[in-house]
């Protein structure tokens, strides 16, 4: 039984941070990772952490109920997007309404929407000479980055900060706050 399903497309550093945050309260069996990229490093992290990982294709994700049925069978209580780059399909949103969350690397509604992820966000923040950036943790709906905001945290940006500097500051916020919000939603505190 996996209470927390973490969807990731890349390195999985947030996924690993989440599992480690709950160490001692939840076991690796309480988590499952889902990945749409067989070459993503999150697959290695899952093995190291002893977390079950499910790889899936675009066809399985968008044109079937395979993922929805597996999540239900696992007893999933919350779906956590951690660097997952695909739009969540309607069948998954409907089956887990109010139970899918995402962390976005900016203060929404700024720098959100299709194509705004990772370094692209931080480059845009620097290019536009913003004085702050941050994270937005929000519920997921049928559109990119438009779900109800749960939590935001900000960090100061200086004119000397590069996109990499902003990325580091934002990652620090993600690592600090994302597990805490998940904890509150799971009512473990």
Residue 109: what are its φ and ψ, rounded to 5°? Answer: -85, -5
Q: Tell me whether residue 12 is annotated as binding.
A: yes
Whole-angstrom distance, CA of residue 105 vs CA of residue 115: 12
Q: Tell me whether residue 14 is annotated as binding.
A: yes
Q: Tell me whether residue 83 is annotated as binding.
A: no
User: Does an H or E element contain 34, and which?
Assistant: strand 31-35
Q: What SS3 state is found at 180?
A: helix
**Strand bridging mode 132-139 / 149-156:** antiparallel
Q: Tell me whether residue 43 is annotated as binding.
A: no
Residue 96 to residues 76, 89, 151, 166, 179: CA-CA distances in angstroms? Answer: 9, 11, 20, 33, 19
Catalytic residue among 104, 122, 138, 171: 104
Q: Which of 6, 12, 10, 7 is nearest to 28 (CA)?
A: 6
Contacts of 128 (CB under 8 A, 6+ apart): none
Active site residue 171: no
Q: Tell me whether residue 25 is annotated as binding.
A: no
- Please state the residue numbers annotated as binding site for (6R)-10-formyltetrahydrofolate: 58, 102
Give me the active site residues, please. 104
- Please state the residue numbers annotated as binding site: 12-14, 58, 102
């Amino acid at each position: 039984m996996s209470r927390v399903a973490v969807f990731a497309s890349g390195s999985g550093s947030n996924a690993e941070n989440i599992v480690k945050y709950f160490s001692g309260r939840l076991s690796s069996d309480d988590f499952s990772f889902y990945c749409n990229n067989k070459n993503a490093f999150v697959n290695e992290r899952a093995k190291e952490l002893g977390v079950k990982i499910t790889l899936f294709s675009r066809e399985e994700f968008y044109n079937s109920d395979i993922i929805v049925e597996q999540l239900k069978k696992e007893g999933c209580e919350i779906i956590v997007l951690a660097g997952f780059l695909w739009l969540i399909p309607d069948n998954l949103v409907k089956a887990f309404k109010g139970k899918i969350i995402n962390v976005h690397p900016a203060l929404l509604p700024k720098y959100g929407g299709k194509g705004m992820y990772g370094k692209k966000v931080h480059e845009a923040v620097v290019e536009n000479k913003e004085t702050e950036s941050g994270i937005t943790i929000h519920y997921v709906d049928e559109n990119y980055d438009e779900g109800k905001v749960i939590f935001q945290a900000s960090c100061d940006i200086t004119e000397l900060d590069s996109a990499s500097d902003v990325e580091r500051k934002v990652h620090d916020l993600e690592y600090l706050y994302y597990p805490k919000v998940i904890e509150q939603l799971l009512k473990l505190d």
